[in-house]
Amino acid sequence: MKHFFLTLLTVVICTGVNAQYTGDSLYYLRPFDTMTVRFDPGVGQILFDHYLAPGQTLFGTASFYGLSLEDAYQLNPALRSSYKPGDKVRVAVPRVAIRPAPAADSLAWFLPVYYQMGRGETYFGLHKRILQLENDAHLRSLNPELDPERMQPNQRVAIGYLKLDGIPKAWQGDIVDPYVRRNRGLRELWELRTAGKKMKQANGKAAWTKKGDPGKWMALHRTAPINSLIEIEDPRSRKTIYARVVGRIPEQVNDRNVIVVVSPLLVKAFGVRDKHFYVRTRHF
């Protein structure tokens, strides 16, 4: 009997991970599928990769997970032009949709949800920051042999169950990062001003300062024209923020490896804590 359940578990896991499609033409998720999710700091969401099955549409897939079509485009910009069966669609899975246990009277209507640990992630961070649980009791019950001190990248941790009939729209929050949304005005101005122009690009360190208006997107740069706009991309968080150049970098404070100094609002947007962090910049 034990061998039977181990074999069945192996089949379920392999089916969920290796299947070319998620669901089929009638169902977006099936009882024998397995959902493996991860956390994306760039959008601040728990994400699942849904692979379109023949007969599935992007609109229908988004609706099944409680998302609008625009939400789907925000998470999958490459799909705006076209998509086909087998294409990956990133969808957000709200924490409230992940239940600690399936309903006892309808076990067949739930599928297991696993979390795939990312590089540098910890067990404490998983249950406190990512899943935002009061304690780890149900994680321990789902993973009795788990050693919190020996977590590895790509390790899968059972975190709960998802109902097969989809996610209510009311459960989904804002898909676009609030700072990226707040920065949209400068992004649109940047696109208007830079259309057809050749950009100057640089990779290097960014520093930050506590000085300046905490509510404005501001940056110091060595050569970009004062009052011009600059594009700053943080590869770690995968966010791109636009700022207005308000001055020059003080030579006595920062070494030549620092290519931009950002204001407190950009620090919050990128979620950085280190004094220096790596960025890519563009300006004209």
Q: Write out pLDDT tens, residues 205-238.
A: 999 888 878 899 999 999 999 999 999 999 887 7
Residues 72, 8 share a domain: yes
182 in the same domain as 133: no
- What does the alpha-carbon distance between residue 269 and residue 182 come to, in Å, rounded to a whole number? 10
| Mean pLDDT to the nearest integer, 8-24 | 54
pLDDT (average), residues 90-98: 95
Mean pLDDT of the chain: 87
Which of the listed residues 171, 196, 230 is the one where a domain comes to its end?
A: 171
Domain that holds residue 108: 2-171
Q: Where does a domain end: 152, 171, 190?
A: 171
122-170 confidence digits (pLDDT tens): 999 999 999 999 999 999 999 999 999 999 999 999 999 999 999 999 9
Task: Assess whether pLDDT exceeds 50 at residue 6.
Answer: no
Amino acid 44 reads G
In DSSP notation, 151-198 reads --TT-EEEEEEEETT---GGG----S-HHHHHTHHHHHHHHHHHTTPP
Of residues 91, 266, 82, the one with CA closest to residue 162 = 91
Task: Verify that 139 and 182 share a domain, yes or no.
Answer: no
Q: Which two tokens stand for residue 64?
A: 């099944």
**Does the global pTM surpass 0.85?**
no
22 and 137, same domain (yes or no): yes
- Give me the number of domains the chain comprises: 2
- Whether residue 260 contacts residue 180, with contact meaning beta carbons closer than 8 Å, is answered with no
Same domain, 246 and 147: no
